[in-house]
Each structure stands twice: as structure tokens, then as C-alpha cells.
Amino acid sequence: MTTLSPPMHDHRQRCETATASHLCLDVRCLISRFLGSIFPTPGIYQQQQFRRKPACMDRQTSFSRDIGHAAAETYLITRLTFTLLRYLGVGYRWYTRLLALACYALLLMPGFIQVAYCYFFSSQVRRSIIYGDQPRNRLDLYLPTNTNGPKPVVVFVTGGAWIIGYKAWGSLLGLQLAERDVIVACIDYRNFPQGTISDMVKDVSQGVSFVCNLIGRYGGDPNRIYLMGQSAGAHISACVLLEQAIKESRGESITWSVSQIKAYFGLSGGYNLFNLVDHFHNRGLYRSIFLSIMEGEESFEQFSPEVRIKDPRNREAASLLPPIKLFHGTSDLSIPSDASINLVEALKGAGAEAEVILYEGKSHTDLFLQDPLRGGKDDLFDHVVAVIHAGDEEALAKDASAPPRKRLVPEILLRLARHISPF
């Protein structure tokens, strides 16, 4: 049911949305000029990769470039986001959540430092591979040490409330899956206010296309590709997958096929924007910002997989989808687990193969951060690996004999982090 707002409220909301849109355009131009002034164009960058240099110089240059890129981009986007939030009148709730986020990160810092060391210094990580012509069109590859034969591939899309996502957020998952002989491609994409939802979907689809067409060069098996997203990344990747299926069902031109995706894993995602807008507003992601990210309420249907899959016109597209597995914690306050339950029901109603796996008492970050940092047995990780290695007896035997994963953060810090988490 649609609630009509008083005219004054409509006018104010339109002004806020228009202001956000104009500011976003200014932000994109500023970011493009800033990055363009300090980083080479994709063509020049790719040519430079083939110049012969000493190995130590290559590593030093790569490390300095990636550190500079991440630091400059993070600082600029954070500063512009604060400017945008102040302009839209966002108050204390966002700032208290940002403070809680800082404390949360400090408590988990022992684990983050260890993961960051591997991310920057491991020879098995290929950072910032260019897949498109936008500033954030880069991806990281995590490669197994075992190079015997082509490996299955997981394309991972990170979360971050559509605002603070970054490809390195998937480094823990990438490193751990690489230990099980799985290649992981973590896709970066434009965040708000650098881009809006259609930009994010476009970026991720282009990144998936890059992996589907070129992963063989890195030892990946193009016939065993799995798509996975977490939180906002689960929403974006689900939009990408469904949009691609719809294009194929209509006979439109494509650069990659849904048939190349063996399965989709959605972790703690939201798939119906109509049901989430008020929930996010009460949680601090205010309506004016959310509408700006999602390009207005008129775009909610297009970017709500749950709603779109119910459209009878998309019945054929549903038949093209790969098996879909959604994971969600029952104590998730950021995105209620009903979001995954409802999408699975809609998918089944459309004839698609779908399953939801609920984890009792788990929060929004338990499944993706605290549990992996805790080490030892991890039910979600084991489930994903079992699906990827299904039918591969040698890989399954290796999984069964794999040593317990190392604990990266003391239990007391993990418990405190869970208590203070803003998610």
C-alpha cells in the first residue's frame, strides 16, 4: 500500500533528492579528475604491466601503487560522504554509528593486520586488475598454491551499505578459499555518492563478464564459476544475475551467460527495497539517502529481485537461473532474515531452484567476520566449499583432512566487537 505524503513533505523530499543527485554528479567529476591526475589510463597501465623490470621493483611499485590508490580513494570518498550527509541534514545517529564502527574495527584489528599482511605481501594475491574504464573497475584475484589443473572460481561482491564497500573487504574469504584450491575474484564497484545503484549493477556485471571470459588465463575453470555476495553486495549481485537472465530470455546481446554460473550464494542480503526503506530509515540509513542511492522509489521494482521474479513476464528468465542458496542469521538487525526467506519463496514460486539456510542467533557480521576470525569449524564456509567441490572426490577428501583454521582474534575481543557492532 502506498502512503501519500503532504505536499510540503513531497516538495522537501524532491529537493533533497535533486540536491543529492547534483552533488553526486559533482562528486563523480571530482573523483574522476582526481584519480585521472594520479593514475594512468587503463591502456597505459596494461602496457606498463608488460615492460620488463626487476622482480623486486615490480613488487615495490605494485605495493606503493595499491597503497596510494586505496588511501587516496578511501579518504576522498569518506570526506565527500560526510559532506553529503551534512548537506542532507543527517544528524547524530550516523555519527554515533561511525564511532561504533571505528571501535568495532579496533577490536578486530589483530585479525585485520594479519589478513592485510597476506593481502599486500602474498605472491598468491593479484591486486587491482582492471576490468573496465571506471575508476573503481578493478578486482583482486586470490590464487591457490596448487596449480595442477583448472580451479573452480568464486566471484565475490562485498557489502558496505552501498556506501563503504571495497574489494579488500573480501580478503579474508579470498585467502581462506584459496587454501581449498578455489580461485576468488573480489570485484570492486562504484559506491554512493560516486555512483548509484544502476552504476553498481553495471560495474559488477562487467566484472563478472571479465571473469567469465578471461579467468582461464589465471588457471580458473570457466565452466565452474560461482557468484557470491554479502549484504549490499548480495543485493547487487542478485540484481546482476536476474537482469542477465532476463536479457538472455529476451534474446538481447550479452557478453557473459547465466549458464556459466554454477550456483549463487547470497549472504545476509536484502532483496526487496519496498520492505527495506523504512527499516533502514529507522536504523540510520535515512530515506532521503536511500532514495538517492536507489535512484528514487520509481526504481524500487527494477532493483528488487524478489518483486521482479514474481512478474509473470520473467517466468522464462527464472528457468535460466542457477541453483540459489541464501544464508542468513536469525539475529540479524541490519537486514532481517525474512528478506532471504521471502526471496526463496518467490524463486520457488517462479520455478527456480532455491534454498535458504538460517543460522540461529547469528548477527549481520557473525557469519562473514567474527566466525571466520574465530577459526576452527565454520558451518557456512564448509557448506559453500562442499557445494563447490561436489562431485570432485579428490577435493572433498582434501577438505576432510584439512587442518582447523587458525584463530586470528582472541575470543574476548570478538565478543566485545559483536556487542558494539553498528550493523
Residues annotated as catalytic (active site), given as ranges: 231, 332, 364
Cell of 374: 574465530
Nearest alpha carbon to residue 174 among 239, 217, 96, 122: 122
Rg (the chain; Cα; Å)? 21
Cell of 308: 521482479
Sign, CA dihedral 193-13-279-243, equals negative
Contact between 213 and 207 (Cβ < 8 Å): no
Residue 115: other Cβ atoms inside 10 A: 20
Helix/strand/coil percent split, the chain, to 5: 55, 15, 30
Phi then psi for residue 356, to 5 deg, are -115, 135
Q: Where would I find the beta strands (DSSP E) of 210-276? A: 220-230, 261-267
- Number of helices (H), then strands (E), belonging to the chain: the values are 17, 8
H helices present in 250-337, as ranges: 273-283, 287-293, 305-309, 315-320
Cell of 147: 596449480
Contact between 157 and 237 (Cβ < 8 Å): yes
Q: Residue 213 carries which side chain, given as an amino acid letter?
A: N
Give CA 7 to chain center in angstroms: 37
Cα–Cα dist 75/88, whole Å: 20
Cell of 212: 567469465
Name the strand (E) or helix (H) holding 130.
strand 125-130
Phi then psi for residue 397, to 5 deg, are -65, -40
Contact between 350 and 314 (Cβ < 8 Å): yes
Cα–Cα dist 177/152, whole Å: 10
End-to-end CA distance of the chain: 28
